[in-house]
Amino acid sequence: MNKYFDIKDKVYDITEKYPETIDVFVETGFDQLKNDAMRKIMGKTVSVEMACRSKKVNVELFEQKLIDIIEQTRTDVDGKLYHDKDIQNTEITINGILPCPVRIPLLEGFESFLEDKDLGSNIKYDLKVASGGVDWIKDKIKGAKKEDLPDLFLSAGFDLFFDKDLMGGFKEKGIFKDLIAKKQMNKDFQNEDIDLRDPDGNYSIIGVVSAVFLVNKEELGDREFPRTWKDLFKEEFEGEVSLPVGDFDLFNAILLNIYKTYGEDGLKSLGKSFMKNMHPSEMVKSYKKKDKPTITIMPYFFTKMITGKGPMVPIWPEDGAVISPIFLLSKKEKEEKLKPFVDFFASKEVGEILSHNGKFPSTNPEVENGLEDNQKFMWIGWDFINNNDIGSLIKRCEDIFNSSI
């Protein structure tokens, strides 16, 4: 049992105590809960566990989603839990956005680390859940001076890290440095096909969010399964592909990789294939909807919610799962003071939380990500990043894609 509720508690009791959870129930398929009268009638007789069983939803994953939204809301409302610590004489500031499935274990690990090392007395940190978006940190960065930046920052996001109006502008001034001690990466990310190490030594990468296909075999019919990203461009799939447009980090990664490999024509073809934007939890249950996409592009983590009893089949693209790296940015001028914190976030312990709890493969060489030899990644590469204005290119890619919808 977690500290907020038991899975055997009634849905009504949980939604009364934590109203923010209603949206989570609704987006998972419990539309009746939108209506207060129905929520009282149905919610008082059904437990969280029973509700999940009825929808064939993974109970543990759904429980974690409820915890995440409670944690985020409690932080925003009363600041009593995992709050932005206001400490006098702060020496180190840490900001970040953590993937929803791993936020709680990472925070707990970080709290234990601070306590064990007796480092909490001069640290100010704010580590929010990814579902809350990145606008809050963008607002901090725009027009900021070097001293206004956090000393350590953790998140995914191509535009956030490479846009010259955001972190990219500070990178050009030589403010950041890769402080990870182990320069050898996990074999999954340092081999003949890929190398995630920043040759200029500015950015650290501790893991990745990877995008794969989820295919509804009933909607697919007698057509061949899509095996590569180029397969999505086929005329037979026009208007039948759901893309994670709301997940800006991953969607931007997809657009950039399609543009790099297939050019503007590839983006136009992807636009023609686009059916709708769906939250990953909706994608998993999309076979129950009236307008069912044949193919959905989603984070690898959410494919683990599939029970195997329905028509949804996960496919790892043969040409690689598109990745959105989880970056760790460190201020060079505070190298000595930041080193213990960088060592923690780059550690095997954190790597295993990312990889094993969240299916976000880790770059730590000691972590076993459990990938098969044919499960490769699609990465735009450092040469492409350094030779392009990524912020402007993302906007251009979006315009090309949108013009073809």
Strands (E) across 165-248 are located at 204-216, 241-243
Q: Cα separation of 276 and 280, whole Å?
A: 12
- Give the Cα separation of 231 and 241 in Å (integer): 11
Distances (CA, A) of 345 to 72, 348, 354: 21, 9, 10
Determine the distance from the C-alpha atom of residue 219 to the mean position of all C-alpha atoms in its chain, rounded to a whole number: 27
Instruction: Give the fold, CATH level 3, of 209-321+399-403.
Output: D-Maltodextrin-Binding Protein; domain 2 (3.40.190)
Domains 92-208+325-375 and 209-321+399-403 share a fold: yes
Domain coordinates in residue numbering, the chain: 11-73, 92-208+325-375, 209-321+399-403
Cβ atoms of 94 and 151 within 8 Å: the answer is yes
The pLDDT profile of the chain, 405 residues, written as one tens digit per residue, is 678 999 999 999 999 888 878 878 887 888 788 787 888 888 889 999 999 888 888 888 889 888 888 876 655 443 333 334 443 346 899 998 888 778 888 988 998 998 888 876 678 888 887 766 677 778 778 778 888 889 999 998 888 899 888 898 899 899 999 999 888 999 999 999 999 999 999 999 999 999 999 999 999 999 999 999 999 999 999 999 999 887 778 999 999 999 999 999 999 999 999 986 554 444 444 444 447 899 999 999 888 777 677 899 999 999 999 999 999 999 999 999 999 999 999 999 999 999 998 899 999 999 999 999 999 999 999 999 999 999 999 999 999 999 988
Q: What's the whole-model pTM score?
A: 0.77
Which of helix, strand or coil describes residue 383?
Answer: helix
pLDDT of residue 222: 96
Asked whether 94 and 87 are in contact (CB, 8 A), the reply is no
In whole angstroms, give the CA distance from residue 145 to residue 54: 53
Determine the 3-state secondary structure of 3 from DSSP.
Answer: coil
Complete DSSP assignment for 297-337: EEEGGGGGG--SSSSEEEE--TT-EEEEEEEEEEBGGGHHH
pLDDT score for 86: 41
Positive or negative, the CA dihedral 33, 34, 38, 39 is positive
| Residue 78: per-residue pLDDT | 38
Is CATH 3.40.980.10 what the domain over 92-208+325-375 is classified as, yes or no? Answer: no
Cα separation values, 44 from 9, 64, 245, Å: 9, 21, 36
- Residue 90 confidence (pLDDT): 60
Other beta carbons within 10 Å of 124: 16
Question: What pLDDT sits at residue 124?
Answer: 87
* CB neighbour class for 167 (10 Å; exposed up to 12, middle 13-18, buried from 19): buried
Task: For residue 30, give both structure tokens.
Answer: 């419990």
- Residue 381, SS3 per DSSP: coil
